[in-house]
Chains A and B, each alone.
Chain A
Amino acid sequence: MNDGSPASLSTGQRLHPAGLLAGFVGGLPQLLFPGAAAVYGTRSSDLGAVPVIAGVLLISLAFRWLRWLRFRYITGPDDVRIEQGLISRSARSIPYDRIQDVSVEQRPIARLLGIAEVRFDTGGGSGDEASLAFVALTEAERLRDLVRARQSGDAVAAEPGAAAAAAPTAPVYAMDTRRLLTLGFYSFSLVIFAVLGGAAQQFDFLLPFGWSDLAQLWGMAEQRGVDLTQFSRSAQLGGAALMLAALVAIGIVTGIVRTVLAEYGFRLDRTPMGLRRRRGLLTRSDVVIPVARVQAARITTGPLRKRRGWYALHVVSLGGKGSGEGSGEADHVAAPLARLDELWPIIAAARLAPPAADQVFHRARSGAWIDGWLLAMGAASVAGALLWAATGLPGWWIVLAGPALVALLAIPRGLGWWRTRYAVDAEQLYARQGWWRQQQLIARQINVHSVTIAQGPLLRRRRLANLDFGIAGAALTFHAVPLETARAIREQVLALAAPVDFSEL
């Protein structure tokens, strides 16, 4: 195919042919919809649906076969390579040293056929890893042994049982009932109405009456001369106040119930394995967050909570296995409601440090925001004027509607911008943002995997830039930083991070 390619199609290994069958059977549910469409489409023709369905199945099988033909994997001296693609060719190289785990999975059909799916987990944040579906079971075992043997004598992680065996000590953080209820109070939620509304729409065939009946009732009432306006003003106001009070009460109760269910008996311990968190009333969850995998800490609060001195702490950890909350979960609540001075010991236990008391936080430059605002105002004015000219609506004030809306939307944006700050010290990065949901992110510079300086046309005009740090599990951006500062910070961070290989973290 390609002369320059060191590993070409002729040298690699194919997947197991029986995998075609397993993949085909496994993919049948996906063909349900096209199949149904085919049946529906041909219901009036004499031919009947059978040939069409057969055609769909055949095409699916043919594609699978083509893909199988063009798929090779090679186990080289340093890496596993996977080459695939019908029209676009893609070759992926996964160094053995980066493979965190090899999983061998057999679903029922695969088990019948004696084949297995092999997945290489590189512990990366991006979900799309490498998988071989399917190879013979013996080959799967060979691959797993090969990868384990190639990995240069890494210390094996402690057994999971070790955590439970640890002597009982005082927790790093725990929540008593009073605090649990306080948290429930802050978790005010009207989500129940969304759920009820959704359920009502979904299952309205189960209701003893239809929505149209309700409208009819209203109409009948009006016909008989019952009119809301004939109630006295105070009765109307009282009704409205009652409604509001009921709404608030329901919101608070929902919040408390949900919080108690999720956070009951919340307890965070420091174990040799890492931070161990237990919580939950009905479903008790027990998660160990390995300290070595912690990438950043996030302190969040809101305007109300902050006034009372309450904060929450989240720990961002490297995704992948072991979290017990699904592989995508990388953000763990370490303390749902705590005072700041209770948070610092937890942060220290996660091997992060609070910002120094005299740490200077820089504000995002306002110029970029003002430019954007002016641009939006201009665009809204032009759009309004065009609309007015095109439709010939009588009210000229419509020209002002767009700019007014932009001005209104600008208020929360501006407040958010005001709160956006960043700071750098010798080892860590700090970013604050948000006006309603305030958060501060603390990350070690050594955990930065990439740095991007990004500039749009507006930022460039003012010699500003956004500085994006690639951290597993969290978005860390310094907004509207002077370009020279951004470059200096990048150099500093890279000087610290680049010499350290991922496996040494």
Chain B
Amino acid sequence: MDADELTALHLDYRKVLRLRGAIQALVLIALAIAAELLLPGPRGLFVAIGAALGLWLALISPARKFNRWGYRLSEDRLRVISGWLFHSDTVVPLGRVQHIDLDQGPLMRRWNLAQLTLHTAGSHGASISLPGLKHSDASAMREAIRAHIRDGRA
């Protein structure tokens, strides 16, 4: 019933997460340095907080997030589990998909990864996103899901 049957994301996506975390950390540390120079307060306080958060974002959080992420595409539904601090476990029946997006950000393109998003007619939490798939796998999944939509009707 639970995590044993899940497929993990592509290992390259961990690199994307790390890189993204590192960029966020750099921005945060830059802000902390600016705050240190501009705002009064105990010396080194802002930089210390910024550095701690930055380390967390760049080194610890990406791997934890990655390890929690997983999906399972079964005959008639897609299940995506994600989140380390805040768990989320979503199932979308393929027959309810309205349209499908395949997105590539600049970082993901570097490793030829893509994000698959299924949109449903629901208005709250209407879509389910699955990042970190090889582009070819993602488009294969898209074709499979689309075929299901076609068959479901016939």
Closest CB-CB distance, A328 to chain B, in whole Å? 10
CB pair B100 A93 closer than 8 Å: yes
CB pair B122 A471 closer than 8 Å: yes
Which A443-457 residues have C-beta < 8 A from chain B?
448-457
CB pair A92 B98 closer than 8 Å: no
CB pair B98 A124 closer than 8 Å: yes
Q: What are the residues of chain B within 8 A of A457 when measuring CB–CB?
A: 85-86
A98-B96 Cα distance, complex, nearest whole Å: 9
Contact of A501 among B77, B126, B149 (CB under 8 A): B149
Closest CB-CB distance, A77 to chain B, in whole Å? 9
Contact of B125 among A93, A97, A318, A468 (CB under 8 A): A468
CB pair B123 A490 closer than 8 Å: no
- Chain B 101-136 per-residue mask, 1 if CB under 8 angstroms from chain A, else 0: 111111001001000000111111111100000111
A456-B84 Cα distance, complex, nearest whole Å: 9
CB pair B96 A502 closer than 8 Å: yes
**By the criterion of a CB under 8 Å from any partner CB, how many residues of chain A are at the interface?**
60
> Does any Cβ of A come within 8 Å of B28's Cβ?
no
* Overall SS of chain B's interface: mixed
Contacting chain A: which of B6-14, B29-37, B44-52, B87-95?
A: B87-95
Residue of B nearest to A316 (CB): B123
Q: What are the residues of chain B within 8 A of A89 when measuring CB–CB?
A: 103-104, 109
Q: What are the residues of chain A within 8 A of B91 when measuring CB–CB?
A: 450-452, 490, 494
A85-B103 Cα distance, complex, nearest whole Å: 9
A33-B146 Cα distance, complex, nearest whole Å: 44
> Does any Cβ of B come within 8 Å of A499's Cβ?
yes
A497-B95 Cα distance, complex, nearest whole Å: 9
Tell me whether A498 and B93 are in contact in the complex, defined as CB-CB below 8 angstroms, given that A123-B121, A470-B122, A472-B123 are known contacts: yes
Contact of B92 among A450, A465, A487 (CB under 8 A): A450
CB pair B95 A91 closer than 8 Å: no
Contacting chain B: which of A2-10, A40-48, A221-229?
A: A2-10
A500-B102 Cα distance, complex, nearest whole Å: 25
Closest CB-CB distance, A152 to chain B, in whole Å? 6
Closest CB-CB distance, A179 to chain B, in whole Å? 31
B89, B101, B139, B143: residue with the most chain A Cβ atoms closer than 10 Å: B89
Residue of B nearest to A455 (CB): B87
Q: What are the residues of chain A within 8 A of B43 when measuring CB–CB?
A: none
Q: What are the residues of chain A within 8 A of B154 when measuring CB–CB?
A: 152
CB pair B101 A470 closer than 8 Å: no
CB pair B99 A450 closer than 8 Å: no
Contact of A474 among B85, B97, B123, B142 (CB under 8 A): B123
> Does any Cβ of B come within 8 Å of A460's Cβ?
yes
CB pair A454 B87 closer than 8 Å: yes
Q: What are the residues of chain B within 8 A of A476 when measuring CB–CB?
A: 124
Tell me whether A449 and B103 are in contact in the complex, defined as CB-CB below 8 angstroms, given that A455-B87, A498-B93, A500-B95 are known contacts: no
Tell me whether A95 and B146 are in contact in the complex, defined as CB-CB below 8 angstroms, given that A452-B88, A502-B95, A503-B153 are known contacts: yes
CB pair B121 A318 closer than 8 Å: yes
A123-B90 Cα distance, complex, nearest whole Å: 22
CB pair B104 A450 closer than 8 Å: no
Closest CB-CB distance, A296 to chain B, in whole Å? 11
Tell me whether A78 and B122 are in contact in the complex, defined as CB-CB below 8 angstroms, given that A89-B103, A453-B89, A501-B95 are known contacts: no
9 tightest Cβ-Cβ pairs between the two chains A and B: A470-B122, A125-B123, A501-B152, A498-B93, A4-B136, A449-B120, A501-B95, A4-B135, A455-B87
Give me the interface of B with A, judged by CB distance under 8 Å.
1, 76-77, 85-106, 109, 112, 119-128, 134-136, 139, 142-143, 146-147, 149-150, 152-154
A-B contacts, 18 listed (Cβ < 8 Å): A2-B112, A79-B146, A89-B104, A90-B104, A92-B99, A93-B142, A95-B150, A125-B124, A126-B119, A449-B96, A450-B92, A452-B90, A453-B90, A454-B87, A456-B85, A456-B87, A474-B124, A494-B77
